[in-house]
Amino acid sequence: MLTTSVPPPPFSRLPPLPTFPPSISPEPLTPTLAAQKQVAELCLSQHEIAARAEPHRTFPFDRVAHAEFLAGALEKYPWQFQVQDASRPWLVYWAVAGLSALGEELEDVEDWRDGLVATFKPCQNLDGGFGGGYGQLSHLATSYAAVLSLIASEKEECYRMIDTRAMWHYLGRMKQPHGPFTMCAGGEVDVRGAFCALVIISLLGLPLELPQDAPARKSGCDNFLTNLGEWIGKCQTYEGGLGSSPGNEAHGAYTFCGLGSLCIMGTPSKTVKKFLDVDLITKWLSARQYAPEGGMAGRTNKLVDGCYSHWIGGCWPLMDAAMQDESPNSSKRDYWSREGLLRYIFNCCQEDGGGLRDKPGKRADAYHTNYNIAGLSWVQNKYSFSEPKDGEGVASGLAPAHGWDYKPVVDIPGLPDGRVNPHHPVYVIPWTAAAKAQAWFGANRAMAR
């Protein structure tokens, strides 16, 4: 368990910017390099100020201010925010996931759990999916955000409002015969669609068999997983990460969605190895972490950004599970710098007065607040997966949420003050919520075919 007696290691463990001797042909200063140098200097100065001011050598984690910021994100917005009208389920998901991880009960703030059903009823369509608001078309992204928010509450009244049978039919209509899913009827086909659909299928315990009215059946496709692993494999680029669809540039968010999908489809050490080049993705993920910033960038030669604390940082728990049987050492091994990311989040992403952000100089928002907090969960815990015994899987053989386990990591600075409640590495909601939902939906499965 967690011990507090371990002293923080010295600041020098965060390595400095590699400085190369003058080269024969000096590196040309292009827009990419100029921006990179500027951000590196900005972050280094943040690290230096933090190390001067405080014995733990990071800025303290301002838990209450961040919780207040997220609670504020659930309040009423002025009209200028109507450009977010199609993203309200996301705003709710970011806030409730972040608040659950912070575990902060705020006085004078009504419990968000009581507002969920009222919020999502108008978004729910007869076709089974959720749209961004009343009268908006069903969309896999908003369905994902709505289902996760409802499940994060751990309340039965929230479970009950999801129409599982209609949802099953809706997802069936999104399945494409060549493997992936479209985000909505007439919308884009990319790896987010697969991840959103699989998260919903596995949490609600829906059958993997496609409903009879699924159009993909006409092409001989009878299962949600048909051709899916192969298609995700094709999203892996020559660099090692995954793009949104085959041929597109490797990108952190799509890589998380692809890996997450494979980690739902079966035991990660089998599915990830079967469909991806593991050496290549490990190398690419590793190269996304920069010094002296310590944070993660989403693509090659792009800048660090707090949301990739999750999109890249969150790939590491999944890769840990994928590689846990490689050698006797594997379960103890780390492939990345937890300390570097922790420092980036604490020193560079906290906005004075609450909320977390992309990088110094940017404004905090609910999205970056949630995904930085999720990053803390990946930094602070070591995750693993144990294959379920027979019959313990969900929806005919998917990897169950409770197959995952975590152990808190103790020897990083800034703790225990900055510790958050651990998220589930696949579902990115509180640890207990995912397994509890699977158990409830499993026991209440009354799906007439």
Residues 392 to 431 in contact with another protein, rule: CB under 8 A: none
CB of 371 to Zn ion, least distance (A): 7
If the CB atoms of residues 159 and 441 are measured against another protein, the closer one turns out to be 159
Rounded to 5°, the CA angle 10-11-17 comes to 140
Q: Is 108 in the site for another protein (CB under 8 A)?
A: no
Residues 182 to 221 in contact with another protein, rule: CB under 8 A: 184-188
C-alpha span between 271 and 266 (Å, rounded) = 6
Q: Which one of the listed residues 302, 338, 343, 423 is annotated catalytic?
A: 302
Site string for another protein, 58-97 (x = CB under 8 A): ---------------xxxxxxx-xxxxxxxx--xx--x--
Per-residue CA distances from 303 to 249, 286, 296, 367 (Å): 15, 15, 8, 18
C-alpha span between 82 and 99 (Å, rounded) = 24
Q: Which amino acid is at 343?
A: R
If the CB atoms of residues 165 and 283 are measured against another protein, the closer one turns out to be 283
Scanning the structure block, which residue is given the tokens 């970056």? 368
State yes or no: is 299 an active-site residue. Answer: yes
Q: Which of 46, 100, 164, 237 binds another protein (CB under 8 A)?
A: 237
Which positions touch Zn ion (CB under 5 A)? 305, 307, 358
How far is the first Cα of the chain from the last one, in angstroms, to the nearest whole number? 46
Q: Is 289 in the site for another protein (CB under 8 A)?
A: yes
CB of 275 to another protein, least distance (A): 17
Q: Which one of the listed residues 290, 308, 371, 427 is annotated catalytic?
A: 308
From another protein, Zn ion, none, interface partner of 305 (C-beta below 5 to 8 A by class): Zn ion
Per-residue CA distances from 37 to 42, 150, 252, 344, 357 (Å): 9, 43, 21, 16, 19
Which tokens go with 64? 């209450």
State yes or no: is 56 an active-site residue. Answer: no
Q: Positive or negative, the Cα torsion across 342, 348, 354, 355?
A: negative
Q: Is 157 in the site for another protein (CB under 8 A)?
A: no
Q: Which one of the listed residues 305, 382, 383, 424 is annotated catalytic?
A: 305
Q: Which of 41, 48, 49, 333 binds another protein (CB under 8 A)?
A: 333
Q: Which residues contact 189 (CB under 8 A, 6 or more apart)?
A: 176, 180, 181, 182, 183, 245
Which residues are marked as active site?
Answer: 251, 299, 302, 305, 307-308, 358, 365, 368
